[in-house]
Structures are given as structure tokens and as C-alpha cells.
Amino acid sequence: MHSALAEAEAAAQEGEVPVGAVIVHQGRIIGRGRNARERLGDPTAHAEMVAITAAASAIGDWRLEDCTLYVTLEPCPMCMGACLNARVPRVVYGAREPKAGACGSILDLRAPPGFNHRVAVAGGVLAEPCAEILVRFFRARRGA
């Protein structure tokens, strides 16, 4: 999660909402991502999506079956859908997302009916620093 937090810090430095993600395979980071929606003008450029694309490229397969996604903020429905489609077996997140969280906060897409894949989820890992970076970012943006 510390590596995901470093990605979130880099996103903040770029003026992006500070969310970071890494994907680990066999103890090694194979994909890194941070929010890039503003920089790329792409609504799908969430940290998780960037990390999933990088990881798939690194291993040469769209199936990320032996991987864990670490992300600083609870994934949204789009990102959980990508995890399901990429066969990511485990997601570990830091802070809860009370407005769009899809790991139980608003929706629960860990094991949707009819899907042949389920995602094990652990939340609250380094929750305080993961939330604090977001609080600082939005406080500064509002000028408060």
C-alpha cells in the first residue's frame, strides 16, 4: 500500500485527484497507476484502470489471475468491473469511498450474480493516510 500511496502523491503533484494503485504478482509490482483523468482528458483513466493495463502488458496476458490490486481508495463500479473482467482475485484498498464505492459502501460488486469470477476484498489498509491525502488535496483545491 505504501507504493500505491506514492502513486497517489504523484497524482496530487500533477493536479489529479490523489488516488494511486499498484498490482503485485508473485511479490513484485508489475503495474502502477495513478489518476490521470485531467492530464489525459479520459474519464476512464482511474488509477486502477491504468495499473490493470500496465500489469496486463507486463505479463502479456489480460488475465491477472495471480495478482493483487492495492489501491488507496475503494474502487468505483467501473474499476471493480475491470477487476472482474481481468480476473483479479484480490483487491486491497485503503480509504472507503462513501459516494461511489463498489466494494460494499454503495454497491457490492465483489461477486455479482451470474459472473464466473469473484473478487476477495480487504479494506481499511492504511486507511488514515489514504484518506488524509484526499482531504489535503480537496482542502487545498477549495482554498480552505
Measured distance CA(96)–CA(103) in Å, rounded: 9
Cell, residue 123: 479494506
Catalytic entry in 48, 97, 128, 132: 48
Instruction: Using alpha carbons, list the distances in angstroms from residue 25 to 46, 51, 71, 90.
Output: 20, 12, 15, 11
In this structure, is the dihedral angle defined by the CA atoms of residues 39, 42, 46 and 52, taken in order, positive or negative? negative
Decide if 132 is catalytic: no
Q: Enumerate the active-site residues.
A: 48
